[in-house]
Amino acid sequence: MQAAPKPPMTRAQKLRWYAGQLMTDAAADEKVGSRETATSRYLQAADILLLLAKVEENYTAWKYYTDTAAECQKRAKRLIALAPKDDGIPGPVAPSSRATPPS
């Protein structure tokens, strides 16, 4: 984790920094295979970015926040989809090479 920027910072600046740090950490977690942690961090970053967008009056900044939040959510969904399923229900079984359908 990087050191926080030097004061004085507004609350919005602190939130922007924190969201960026969460995205950086999530990408690092994703590279080392820690999907659950990366998913959590992407979703936290998306929440913060959407809070920033909610109070933003400038369209360009609002667009950046919402687009970046959507990208974080997209990455989290992709990680969730890639996660191995361990719900106790066996998956489909591949047919064996010896089994032949009746003629």
Domain contains 30:
yes
The CATH number of residue 25's host domain is 1.20.58.80
Give the integer Cα–Cα distance in Å for 23 and 59: 22
Can you give the residue range of the structural domain that contains 32? Answer: 11-82
pLDDT at 87: 47
Q: Is residue 33 part of a domain?
A: yes
CA–CA dist 7, 65 (Å, integer): 23
- Which alpha helices (DSSP H) does the chain contain, by range? 11-32, 35-55, 59-82
Q: 47, 29, 46: which is closest to 38 by C-alpha?
A: 29
- 9: confidence class by pLDDT, cuts 50, 70, 90: confident
Q: Is residue 2 part of a domain?
A: no
The pLDDT of residue 82 is 87
Q: Which of 53, 49, 56 is nearest to 71 (CA)?
A: 49
- Asked, for residue 32, whether it belongs to a domain, the answer is yes
Q: Judge whether 98 lies within some domain.
A: no
The total number of structural domains that make up the chain: 1
Is 91 a domain residue?
no
Q: Which of 28-32, 44-48, 64-68, 79-83 has the lowest mean pLDDT?
A: 79-83
pLDDT single digits (tens) 14-31: 999 999 999 999 999 999
95 within a domain of the structure (yes/no): no
State the average pLDDT for the chain: 85
In a domain, 96, yes or no: no
